[in-house]
Structures are given as C-alpha cells and as structure tokens.
Amino acid sequence: MTSIVFENVRLIDPASGRDGIGRLTVENGLIAALDGDVTPEGAHVIDGQGAVLCPGLVDMRVALGEPGSEYRESITSGARAAVAGGITTMAVLPNTSPAIDNPALVHLLSVRGKETGMVSIHPYGALTRGCEGKEMAELGLLQEAGAVAFTDGTRAIEDAKQMRNLLSYSRFLNALVVQHPEEPSLAKGACATASALAVRLGLPQVPSAAEAIMVARDLRLAELTGARLHFAHISTAEALSLIREAKAKGVQVTCDTAPPYFAMTEEDIGDFRTYAKFSPPLRSEADRAAVCAGLADGTIDVVASDHAPADADDKRLPFALARAGGTGLATLLGVTLGAGLELIDALRLLTCAPADLLNIPAGRLEVGREADLCLFDPDEVWTVVAGSLPGRAQNTPFDGRKLTGRVLRTFRRGVEVYTAGALP
Amino acid sequence: MPERGPSSRHLLGIEGLTAEQIVPFLDLAESYALLSRSRTAPRDALRGRTVINLFYEDSTRTRTSFELAGKRLGADVINMSVATSSVNKGETLLDTAATLNAMRCDLLVIRHAQSGAPALLSQKVEACVVNAGDGTHEHPTQALLDALTIRRHFGRLNGLTVAICGDVGHSRVARSNIHLLTAMGSTVRLVGPPTLVPSTIAELGNVELYSDMDRALVGADVVMSLRLQRERMGAGLVPSAREYFRFFGLDRRRLSLASPHALVMHPGPMNRGVEIASDVADSDQSVISEQVEMGVAVRMAVLDRLSRLRMHS
C-alpha cells in the first residue's frame, strides 16, 4: 500500500467550491481522505508550503500527431508536455492520419494514453468518415468504444443538411457534437482576420462574421433537432453574443475558447510571425476583450489549450503557407490564470467544467476518485522559451512571455509524473 | 379532396377510414383466405372485369399479389410494364389516365414513387383506383394485410401494443399502419434513430416515439420491422449497416423484451442482418410468410368490394 499525504496545501476544488488550506491523503492511487488527521504508516508526506493543490487539469481540445505525424507530437511526447502543464486528462482530436473513425482506433488511443502512465486520453470520434465531411461516421460504435464527443477537428461541417442529420442522429446517443465555427467558403484560403492590419500586410482575410454565420446556422439546427452542440475555440464578440442569447433561450449549447483568443490579438502577427497563425485567426482587441467578458460571465464554458503541434518546417514558410496552430499544453494554466478571473473560477474552466461536459470522471477532489492532482505556485513567475518546452513541438505563440503560476508537481493516480525543474 | 369513406370506389389510403369502414375489408379477406387455401375462390366474382396493374416502381411482390388476387376472382389482369410503355417516352400521368380510361378498364392498381399520384389519377378515370404504394405517403393494402394477420392471431385489433421499428419517416407502410392501428384502438410505438423517426411524425396522431429500441419493445404484442433502404446510408441518415443492426436490429435478445406471444412482422423484402436477425425472421414468432398469404386475400377483398361499390354508384 502506497500513501501520500499533502500537508499545508491550499486545496481548491471548483466543483465543490472549496478553497482553503487543508490536507489530502492518497492511498493506492485514489483520494482517500480530505482533511483526514491520520497519517498512514509509511506515507510519503509532502509539505506544500501553501501552494495550490487542485484536480489534475482536464484539457478538452488537444491535437496530437499520433497516429500519422508523430514527428510533430507523439502521445508520449504530448503526455510529457501535458503533465508539465498540470494536465492529466486530455480529449484528443480525431483528424489524425488515419482519422479516428473506427472503434479500434478509439481503443488504441485510450490504451496508448494508459501506456504513458502519465495521462488519461479520451479520444474524440470523427463526425464523418476520414473527417472528410462526406459520409457520417459510426457515431454509436465509436461512442461504445469510448469516444467522448464527435468532431471533424479543424474542418467545419459545411453542408447544412448534413449538419442537421448529424445533430439529429447524435440525439439518440445523447452525444456532444463539436463544431469548428468558421463558414468554410468565407474562410477558404484565408489566414488573417479581415482588418486594416491584414490589408497592410496583404494577407488573405476572413471576416470575423464567418464565425457568427456558422454559429447562427448551427444554433438554429441545434434548436430544431434538440441536440447537444458545442463550439470550439470561439474568438469573436458577435458569435459570443449569439451563444449568450441561445443559452438564455434554453438551447443546449456550450463553447470553449483557447488562450490565444483572450491573451493575444492580431497585432501579435507583427512582422508575419507564423507562430501567431491560428485557425480561426487572432482577432481584434475588441474581440479579445469580448472573449474575456465571455469567460467572466459564463458564456464560455471551458478553456482548452487547443494544442496544435507543428515542427519547424511547418512554420518556416511564408505566412499564408505556414501551418496554423500553436502548442498550448505547458502554458495553459499560466495564461488562463492571467485572464483576470478569480483563481477558483479560472480553475473551474480547466477542471470540472470540461470533465462534466464530456462526462469524464475527472476534475474533482473527491474521496474515492483517482488521485490526479496538480500542485502549483500561483505567484511564481516563469518565462516561456520556445525550444526548451517539454514535449516535442515547440511552436508556442507565447515565446518570451512571462507567465504567473507555475506547476510544481503533477500526479496521475497518485504517481508523481512531473516535478518542476526535472526536465531539460 | 379525393373521395373517401365507405362509398368511395377508390382505395387511396387508410387515413380517414373508421373502424366500421375497415372491418368489412378484413371480414371479406378472411373468407377469401379460407377459400384460397381450399382452392375454392369464386372464379366468377370479377368475371368480365379488367384489372390493370400500373407499376411505376419495380415491385415483383406486390404486383404478383394483385395479379393473383385478380385472377383468383376471374378478372382479366393486365400488367403494364412502365419500362417499355409510352410513360417512359415522356407521357404525363394524366395522359396515361386518359388512355386507360378510353380502354374502359374497371380497376386500376397503381404504384408510384410520387406521393399523391394515385389521388391525381383517381380524379381523371372512371375506374376504381387502388393505391399499391405512393411515395412515402400510403400503402393501404399492406396495412390491411398486416391488420388481418394480427387479427387472426389475437382475435382483435384493439388494445394491442404495436412497435414499428426502423425507417418510419420514409415508410408508406408505417403511415398506413399508424392510421389503421390507431383507428382500431391499438397503441403504436415508433422506434428508430431520430434521422429516420423525425419528431414531426408524432403529428400523425396517437403514437409514441422512441429512440431506444429496448425500451420500445418492452411488452409489445407486435414488432414490425421495416426495411432499411441502402440509400439512407448514402443520404447520411445512418452511418452503416453494422451500426444500424447494433442499435436497431431486431435480434433474439431484443425480441425477448416484448410480450412472450409477440408476433414478428416485416413487409419485405428483408435485409437479414440489417434490420432483422435471420433467426428472428425464421422463428416461430415470425408471421412474415402469413403476411404474404394474407396479402393476396386482402387484395381479392379490395378488388371485389371496390368493384361492387362502383356497380352500385
């Protein structure tokens, strides 16, 4: 029997609202007691010195390169980056090569996650075969195999009738359909949001309305079908106001955003910096402020890293040709803590909120649950340095930025899987 | 509005018919079923009458059933094969009607891919029009033969629970059955994925919608399985046959949830291993062959009754 006792830690459990100094006991990989006064014999006692102990973070939107482009990020390298960011649970996107449109591949990813011993992996199932937007994938069989939700990743379902059919079909499975909210014909070929800056740089542009157009259509379809719809990486004020309105009407809609959309603007593209190229693209300051407001008022349900690994050759290209997306696992906590929210509210967006949305048993400090834990110092400042991040991919948009809030130790089922300073 | 009711010389659908209007068809069919078995059907009942089978969609089963029904009653039966007729040369439905009218046929049996085609035809011809299936609208003789089969086993058509499973949204068989069974006082449950059982179908009347096959079958007296057309997968309504069978296939385990005396029915042709497991289709509870037998009897009754109604009008 292996036991750990965390003493003198600030326990924060957003699910129960708990925030205060306490004690947590782990036995055999499970949370055995909160505030227990017994120290099991032979227990390893950790003095937190007042650092925060919270549930291991749950990241609901992660792209890994496995299977198919392990040179960008494998499950193992991705897991190393995750635990360095305090993340112990990841929902991974299905637009790999091959796509996760087959029950056997869902099993494979879950097992590969377990093999790392660091994280639990919950695959998304493809909405359409090959994530190609043509034939419906076997949503029911994928769900039985363990797919937590369905999406085509970074491709929007373009055809309205197909989207209606997918939403309608998902209802008998009570499955969550996740849409990439960008009207594809407007977004095609674009790499920057329509603005004076993009005009000056001469970059092909997509209007921010492309997001609102897709959101408006899909909200109507969700209402029509009664399905559960989720929008990934929302980035505009207009889309947020549509979602806010729909939620008030009782439509079953949720959304997430990612750190670049509340911590950066199009100005960060600067002199054609491809590490600041995203899909959807970075927006105006007004949109960024609206995303912060959406986080504060609950319109945005979850913050996800939107980790999108790329290797140097993917990014060392003219801006329009470079691969979109940035790494986000190691920086998720630090950037989110800087969004101006109360600590417990910021952590809710990273723990129980995504876990509940995907129906994953994680993200809570409860006796009997797996001891997936993150110990972090909310006041320690560290500098992001591309090239020395954990994991394989180094394409962080936050290179050089100082973040407040540093992960000290991460535990998966009571096993210490990350210790600050231990990695190169 | 096309004519309806007991005095109508057409049978365009079940919708609008009352129990009192439905039962005489079943009673007459019941007697024809017995006479057919003993090979003593009255070969003069329709002597001198002409029945034209006008099939715009391929259907060996229904066409043969109508042909046999007519012949057993002594009618002259003509099958118009649309593939080789002037219809295929661009003639409109109404021009075809005028042609057939001029030929003085007595009974016109029509199958058409367009909902409402028999109703349109009925307004333009002297003959009695029998709808042998129009689009996704109605298939009244199928509902009558299903009802007769059920009545022969339970002795009644009221107070039963009938689960209709599968592609209800595109099914004329389901629509006619819903109208008939609810008119007779039975409970109808519809089950399938929401893409095939749209919530708007509840507007047909007193039906219960399910998307969980197990729940829908609990305690059912009759389980009707519908054919899943391959086109439904192409149209993005169902991902694959194997997923469909996993969630909506009628197998042994699911059938065991229904009442122990439950009947298994299927309008045919079956996709074994897609909507129905082979062992269920071939089980003692299956009355699929009996449905085919009752089909001929019901069509004899329909042709006979309509022909007599026309004489009286």
CATH number, position A334: 3.20.20.140
* A169/B240 CB distance under 8 A: no
Among the partner-chain residues B236, B237, B247, the one whose CB lies closest to the CB of A140 is: B247
Q: Are B143 and B173 in contact (CB under 8 A)?
A: yes
Whether the pLDDT of residue A241 is over 80: the answer is yes
* B243/A172 CB distance under 8 A: no
User: What pLDDT, on the 0 to 100 scale, is given for residue B83?
Assistant: 62
* B236/A165 CB distance under 8 A: yes
Residue A183 lies in a domain: yes
Q: Are B130 and B11 in contact (CB under 8 A)?
A: yes
Cα dist from A376 to A27, A43, A85, A90, whole Å: 21, 21, 10, 19
* A141/B242 CB distance under 8 A: yes
Encode chain B (313 residues) as per-residue pLDDT tens digits: 445 554 589 999 999 999 999 999 999 999 999 999 999 888 899 999 999 999 998 888 999 999 999 999 999 999 987 765 666 667 888 888 888 889 999 999 999 999 999 999 999 999 999 999 999 999 999 999 999 999 999 999 999 999 999 999 999 999 999 999 999 999 999 999 999 999 999 888 889 999 999 999 999 999 999 999 888 888 899 999 999 999 999 999 999 999 999 999 999 999 999 999 999 999 999 999 999 999 999 999 999 999 998 877 6
User: What pLDDT, on the 0 to 100 scale, is given for residue A63?
Assistant: 98
Mutate to test the interface with B, among A136, A174, A223 (most CBs of B within 10 A): A136
In tens, the pLDDT along A340-361 reads: 999 999 999 999 999 999 999 9
Task: Compute chain B's Rg from CA coordinates.
Answer: 19
Set of chain B residues whose Cβ sits within 8 Å of the Cβ of A141: 242-243, 246
Residue B229 to residue B171: CA distance in whole angstroms: 10
Residue A167 to residue B79: CA distance in whole angstroms: 45
User: What pLDDT, on the 0 to 100 scale, is given for residue B101?
Assistant: 87
Residue A255 to residue A241: CA distance in whole angstroms: 12
The CA-CA-CA angle for residues B269, B33, B180, to 5°, reads 60
At residue A183 the predicted structure's pLDDT band, cuts being 50, 70 and 90, is very high
- Interface A–B counts its CB contacts (< 8 A) at 49
Q: Kindly report the number of other CB atoms within 10 A of residue A217's CB atom.
A: 16
Residue of B nearest to A135 (CA): B236
Cα dist from B298 to A70, A105, A208, B18, B304, whole Å: 66, 52, 63, 17, 10
Residue A48's Cα: distance from chain center in Å? 27
Tell me which of A306, A314, A356, A372 is the catalytic residue: A306
Q: How far is B183 from chain A (nearest CA, A)?
A: 29
Residue A350 lies in a domain: yes
- Average pLDDT, integer, range A124-152: 98
Residue A389 lies in a domain: no
- Residue A368 at interface with chain B, using a CB cutoff of 8 Å: no
User: Which of B168, B170, B148 is CA-nearest to residue B208?
Assistant: B168
* B237/A225 CB distance under 8 A: no
Whether the pLDDT of residue A424 is over 70: the answer is no
SS (H, E, C) chain B: CCCCCCCCCCECCCCCCCHHHHHHHHHHHHHHHHHHHCCCCCCCCCCCCEEEEEECCCCHHHHHHHHHHHHHCCCEEEEEEHHHCHHHHCCCHHHHHHHHHHCCCCEEEEEECCCCHHHHHHCCCCCEEEEEEECCCECHHHHHHHHHHHHHHHCCCCCCEEEEECCHHHCHHHHHHHHHHHHCCCEEEEECCCCCCCHHHHHHCCEEEECCHHHHHCCCCEEEECCCCCHHHHCCCCCCHHHHHHHHCECHHHHCCCCCCCEEECCCCCCECCCECHHHHCCCCECHHHHHHHHHHHHHHHHHHHHHHHHHC
- Average pLDDT, integer, range A206-222: 98
Which residues touch B31 (CB under 8 Å, ≥6 apart)? none
User: What pLDDT, on the 0 to 100 scale, is given for residue A240?
Assistant: 98
Cα dist from A206 to A33, A53, A189, A325, whole Å: 52, 42, 9, 16
Residue B227 labeled ligand binder: yes
Interface pTM, i.e. ipTM: 0.91
- Average pLDDT, integer, range A234-240: 98
User: Which of B164, B180, B174, B183 is CA-nearest to residue B137?
Assistant: B174
- Residue A223 at interface with chain B, using a CB cutoff of 8 Å: no
In tens, the pLDDT along A55-95 reads: 999 999 999 999 999 999 999 999 999 999 999 999 999 99
* B239/A138 CB distance under 8 A: yes
Among the partner-chain residues A138, A161, A168, the one whose CB lies closest to the CB of B194 is: A168
Q: Are A376 and A86 in contact (CB under 8 A)?
A: yes
Q: How far is B110 from chain A (nearest CA, A)?
A: 32
Set of chain A residues whose Cβ sits within 8 Å of the Cβ of B246: 140-141, 144
In tens, the pLDDT along A279-299 reads: 999 999 999 999 999 999 999
User: What pLDDT, on the 0 to 100 scale, is given for residue B5?
Assistant: 52
User: What pLDDT, on the 0 to 100 scale, is given for residue B86?
Assistant: 60
Give chain A's mean pLDDT.
97
Set of chain B residues whose Cβ sits within 8 Å of the Cβ of A172: 193-194, 211-212, 247
* B211/A136 CB distance under 8 A: no
* A136/B212 CB distance under 8 A: no
At residue A1 the predicted structure's pLDDT band, cuts being 50, 70 and 90, is low
- Residue B199 at interface with chain A, using a CB cutoff of 8 Å: yes
Set of chain A residues whose Cβ sits within 8 Å of the Cβ of B211: 171-172
Residue B268 labeled ligand binder: yes
**What is the number of domains present in chain A?**
1
Set of chain A residues whose Cβ sits within 8 Å of the Cβ of B199: 226
Set of chain A residues whose Cβ sits within 8 Å of the Cβ of B196: none
Mutate to test the interface with B, among A106, A150, A168 (most CBs of B within 10 A): A168
Q: Are A104 and A111 in contact (CB under 8 A)?
A: no
Q: How far is B162 from chain A (nearest CA, A)?
A: 21
* B239/A226 CB distance under 8 A: no
Q: Are A19 and A344 in contact (CB under 8 A)?
A: yes
* A135/B247 CB distance under 8 A: no
Q: How far is A111 from chain B (nearest CA, A)?
A: 23
Residue A70 lies in a domain: yes
Q: Which two tokens stand for residue A68?
A: 């198919």
Whether the pLDDT of residue A188 is over 50: the answer is yes
Q: Kindly report the number of other CB atoms within 10 A of residue A39's CB atom.
A: 13
Residue A314 to residue A321: CA distance in whole angstroms: 9
Residue B139 labeled ligand binder: yes
Q: How far is B170 from chain A (nearest CA, A)?
A: 15
pTM, to two decimals: 0.94
Residue A379 lies in a domain: no
Residue B133 labeled ligand binder: no
Residue A265 lies in a domain: yes
User: What pLDDT, on the 0 to 100 scale, is given for residue B309?
Assistant: 85
Residue B89 labeled ligand binder: yes
- B277-293 burial, b at 16+ Cβ within 10 Å, e below that, comes to beebbeeebbbbebbbb
Q: Which two tokens stand for residue A264?
A: 């950066």
Residue B96 to residue A293: CA distance in whole angstroms: 68
Residue A15 lies in a domain: no
**A306 counts as catalytic:** yes
Q: Which domain holds residue A231?
A: 56-358
Q: Which two tokens stand for residue B4?
A: 């309806």
Residue A46 lies in a domain: no
Residue B305 labeled ligand binder: no
Among the partner-chain residues A138, A161, A172, the one whose CB lies closest to the CB of B193 is: A172
Q: Kindly report the number of other CB atoms within 10 A of residue B24's CB atom.
A: 12
- Torsion angles phi and psi, residue B188, rounded to 5: -115, 125
Helix axes A103-116, A75-84, angle to 10 degrees: 50
Which residues touch A204 (CB under 8 Å, ≥6 apart)? A189, A190, A191, A192, A320
Domains in chain B, ordered, with CATH? 10-137+293-311 (3.40.50.1370), 140-287 (3.40.50.1370)
User: What pLDDT, on the 0 to 100 scale, is given for residue B51?
Assistant: 97
Cα dist from B296 to A160, B81, B94, B289, whole Å: 45, 20, 29, 12
Residue A122 to residue A106: CA distance in whole angstroms: 8
The CA-CA-CA angle for residues A334, A340, A343, to 5°, reads 65
